Amino acid sequence: MLVKKKAIVTGGAGFIGSHMVDLLLENDFFVTVIDNLSGGRESNLSQHKDNKNIEFIETDICNIKYNDKNFTDTDFVFHFAGKGDIVPSIENPDEYMNTNVNGTLKVLQASKEAKIKKFVYAASSSCYGLADTPTKENNVIDTKYPYALSKYIGELVVLHWGKVYNLPINSIRIFNAYGTRVKTTGVYGAVFGVFFKQKLSKKPFTIVGDGNQKRDFVYVTDVARAFYLAAVTKKNNQIYNLGAGNPQSINKLVELIGGDKIHLPKRPGEPEITYANINKISKELGWSPLVNFEDGVKKMMAEISNWKEAPLWDKDSIEEATKIWFKYMQD
């Protein structure tokens, strides 16, 4: 009997992780999802509830044991689990260091013991801070807040395990991922969730600064495909930048969604532009973005009702939520 390829996706009920699960199932993998279901993310995998090629383990990555039997005979581990968002990381840095560093270590140890074939780490472009653009993988590291620091230290641990223990690893520094299933609940953060709820509520979009700042938005299915290619490649111990290589302004996003806008004070420590140099991932993995920005936003707008339960942010609530940002952050 033909044995299916096996993959583990930590954070597999999350935004990017759930799309990774979709892609793996399409490629005939048996998928184990490890997720603590923080933020009510169960619905992201509801389409697979009757699929016998997926199993779900509800646990925190910090609870994974080095000899975890769930890792036995696993081909690939895709590590997306972690704590995101900037403001909460400033408020509770210990939680971010514990999950994004110690949790990553737990997953690495289990992967090493199980002798997996490839470990792919979801790193963050936030490690570059206010970077030169287009940003190459060898750009100076300048972490501006605890979230960025915790993800970068997690990446260093991954690279170290690759070097010392010969664990086959690759790390992908994601720029600005967007797409369906992007976070709809919780703290002030992702621009799409904020804007879509404001659109549904017929409220003006809250734009930080003049709106001319640009972000290298890359659609989530393109992100998942990049991680898949990083797993199946023979190349190991590599760092890849992942963006669309075509930054878009916040004003352009507002134009595509449609509605009124108001402006908030510019925040220190935020770049005017994020822009990934994607030459390396394109050359070595044969990856290029397939979903352009306009089509990506259309895909999300078609499911805008999914954001009806998202928190509604306005000028006053955002000002209150970001007080700590202005207290500690600086350019």
Read off the CATH number of the domain in which 35 is found.
3.40.50.720
Q: Are residues 158 and 203 in the same domain?
A: no
The 10s digit of each residue's pLDDT in 254-290 is: 999 999 999 999 988 889 999 999 999 999 999 999 9
d(CA 250, CA 171): 28
- Residue 157 included in any domain: yes
* DSSP-assigned letter for residue 103: I
- 188 among known catalytic residues: no
pLDDT confidence band for 188 (50 / 70 / 90):
low
- Confidence band of 107 (pLDDT split at 50, 70, 90): very high
Domain of 128, in residue numbers: 5-177+219-242
Q: Domain tally for the chain?
A: 2
Question: What are the tens digits of pLDDT across the range 29-46?
Answer: 999 999 998 766 778 888
| Choice among 96, 128, 147, 188 that is catalytic | 147
Specify whether 262 is located in the same domain as 144.
Answer: no
Cβ neighbour number for residue 157 with a 10 Å cutoff: 17
* Alpha-helical segments (H) within the chain: 15-26, 86-91, 93-97, 104-114, 146-164, 191-200, 220-232, 250-257, 279-285, 293-301, 315-321, 323-328
Please check whether residues 205 and 89 belong to one and the same domain.
no
Model pTM score: 0.96
**Can you say whether the dihedral through the CA atoms of 18, 171, 98, 113 is positive or negative?**
positive
Q: Is the pLDDT of residue 1 over 60?
A: no
Residue 253 clears pLDDT 90, i.e. is over it: yes
Mean pLDDT of 216-244: 98
pLDDT at 78 over 70: yes
Least confident stretch, 154-158, 213-217, 267-271:
267-271
